[in-house]
């Protein structure tokens, strides 16, 4: 993570300049008719110095500080690392059971293309250990990574309710789903049984969405989208992108 800090070295100079100009005394003197007042070069010099300081300030690069993740904060823990070796600096509670559930609390059913065995391989090492915020976040990241690697790039594992008395940790699987298909900002839909197409061509209400293996409401999987785009692009006069 990079934290950018602006250096305001020239600010003090500018404040001093403004303060000096604002508070310098003004003396009224009567001059003979036709005589021009003699101006001191000091204000002009001060203004020039202020302008030069301001230009130097604008040209200074932003300072950056790189914070290296420590063993207490990093989530990039090698898979073979024992759970008890993952550093915890806060309170922990014993976990005897980890449950994967949907956002409405029902048992989670993995989408097609992802097996329970793959999820169990991630969850099992954390069962029977004391877990705190760091270890739980490592678990959530590993579960999310499994879905992303399988192409479900919008699915996330989130922390659900914890029942300390029973030693149960619930993980909510927030599955990203397809809301709709749109072509050039125009929604398209599948035709109902027996419904005639508006134009009958490939790029119509019938053709576009039928090119995709998934439908609105289905889990979003990147491979399904890529296959649909490739199907549309088989027509040489059409070049579709996502």
pLDDT confidence bin for 44, thresholds 50/70/90 = low
Q: Give pLDDT, residue 94.
A: 94
- Asked if residue 142 has pLDDT above 70, the reply is yes
CB count within 10 Å of CB 240 equals: 16
Domain assignment present for residue 218? The answer is yes
Measured CA to CA, the distance from residue 46 to residue 24 in angstroms comes to 12
Q: Are residues 59 and 7 in the same domain?
A: yes
Measured CA to CA, the distance from residue 167 to residue 151 in angstroms comes to 32
Instruction: Output the six-digit token pair for 149.
Output: 């690697």
Q: Give pLDDT, residue 201.
A: 46
- Asked if residue 197 has pLDDT above 80, the reply is no
Q: Give pLDDT, residue 99.
A: 95
Measured CA to CA, the distance from residue 160 to residue 163 in angstroms comes to 10
Q: Are residues 117 and 144 in the same domain?
A: yes
Q: DSSP 3-state assignment of 107?
A: strand
- Asked if residue 43 has pLDDT above 80, the reply is no
**CA–CA distance from 39 to each of 36, 42, 43 (Å)?**
9, 9, 9
Domain assignment present for residue 169? The answer is yes
- Asked if residue 239 has pLDDT above 80, the reply is no
**CA–CA distance from 101 to each of 40, 75, 82, 206, 234 (Å)?**
80, 23, 25, 36, 40
Q: Which of 46-50, 115-119, 220-224, 229-233 shows the lowest per-residue confidence on average (mean pLDDT)?
A: 46-50
Q: Give pLDDT, residue 33.
A: 59
Q: Are residues 228 and 170 in the same domain?
A: no
Q: Pick the residue with more confidence: 97 or 9? A: 97
Number of domains in the chain: 3
CATH number at residue 96: 3.10.20.310
Measured CA to CA, the distance from residue 66 to residue 2 in angstroms comes to 5
Domain final residue, candidates 130, 153, 174: 174
Q: Which residue range forms the structural domain that includes residue 141?
A: 90-174
Query: Mean per-residue pLDDT for 119-141?
Result: 95
Q: Are residues 169 and 185 in the same domain?
A: no
Domain assignment present for residue 49? The answer is yes
pLDDT confidence bin for 35, thresholds 50/70/90 = low
Contact status, residue 91 vs residue 132, Cβ threshold 8 Å: yes
- Asked if residue 86 has pLDDT above 70, the reply is yes
Q: Pick the residue with more confidence: 17 or 173? A: 173
Q: Are residues 138 and 114 in the same domain?
A: yes
Measured CA to CA, the distance from residue 147 to residue 111 in angstroms comes to 10
Nearest to 1 by CA among 75, 90, 52: 75
Q: Give pLDDT, residue 9.
A: 34
Domain assignment present for residue 83? The answer is no
Q: Give pLDDT, residue 147.
A: 96
Q: Are residues 106 and 168 in the same domain?
A: yes
Domain assignment present for residue 98? The answer is yes
Cα angle for residues 77, 153, 173 (degrees, 5° grid): 75
pLDDT confidence bin for 186, thresholds 50/70/90 = confident
**Residue carrying the six token digits 């309710």:** 161
- C-alpha dihedral sign at 219, 225, 227, 233: positive
Q: Are residues 192 and 142 in the same domain?
A: no
Measured CA to CA, the distance from residue 123 to residue 83 in angstroms comes to 11
Domain assignment present for residue 224? The answer is yes
Domain assignment present for residue 37? The answer is no
Q: Which of 30-39, 53-62, 109-118, 200-209 has the highest mean pLDDT?
A: 109-118
Q: Are residues 138 and 213 in the same domain?
A: no
Domain assignment present for residue 29? The answer is no
Q: Pick the residue with more confidence: 39 or 101? A: 101
Q: Pick the residue with more confidence: 35 or 75? A: 75
Q: Are residues 163 and 213 in the same domain?
A: no
């Amino acid at each position: 993570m990079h934290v950018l800090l602006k250096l305001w070295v020239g600010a003090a100079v500018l404040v001093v300049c403004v303060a000096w100009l604002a508070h310098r005394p003004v003396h009224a003197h009567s001059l003979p008719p036709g005589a021009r007042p003699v101006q001191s070069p000091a204000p002009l010099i001060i203004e020039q110095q202020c302008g030069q300081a301001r230009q130097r300030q604008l040209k200074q690069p932003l300072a950056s500080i790189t914070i290296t993740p420590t063993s207490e904060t990093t989530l990039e823990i090698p898979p073979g690392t024992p759970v008890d070796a993952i550093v915890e600096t806060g309170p922990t509670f014993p976990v005897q059971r980890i449950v994967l559930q949907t956002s409405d609390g029902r048992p989670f059913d993995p989408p097609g293309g992802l097996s329970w065995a793959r999820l169990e391989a991630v969850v099992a090492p954390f069962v029977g250990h004391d877990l705190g915020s760091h270890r739980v976040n490592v678990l959530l990241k590993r579960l999310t990574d499994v879905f992303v690697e399988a192409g479900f790039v919008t699915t996330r594992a989130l922390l659900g309710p914890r029942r300390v008395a029973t030693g149960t940790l619930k993980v909510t699987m927030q599955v990203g789903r397809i809301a709709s298909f749109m072509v050039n900002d125009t929604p398209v839909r599948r035709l109902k049984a027996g419904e005639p197409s508006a134009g009958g061509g490939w790029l119509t209400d019938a053709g576009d969405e039928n090119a995709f293996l998934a439908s609105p409401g289905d889990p979003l999987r990147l491979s399904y989208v890529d296959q649909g785009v490739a199907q549309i692009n088989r027509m040489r006069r059409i070049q579709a992108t996502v």
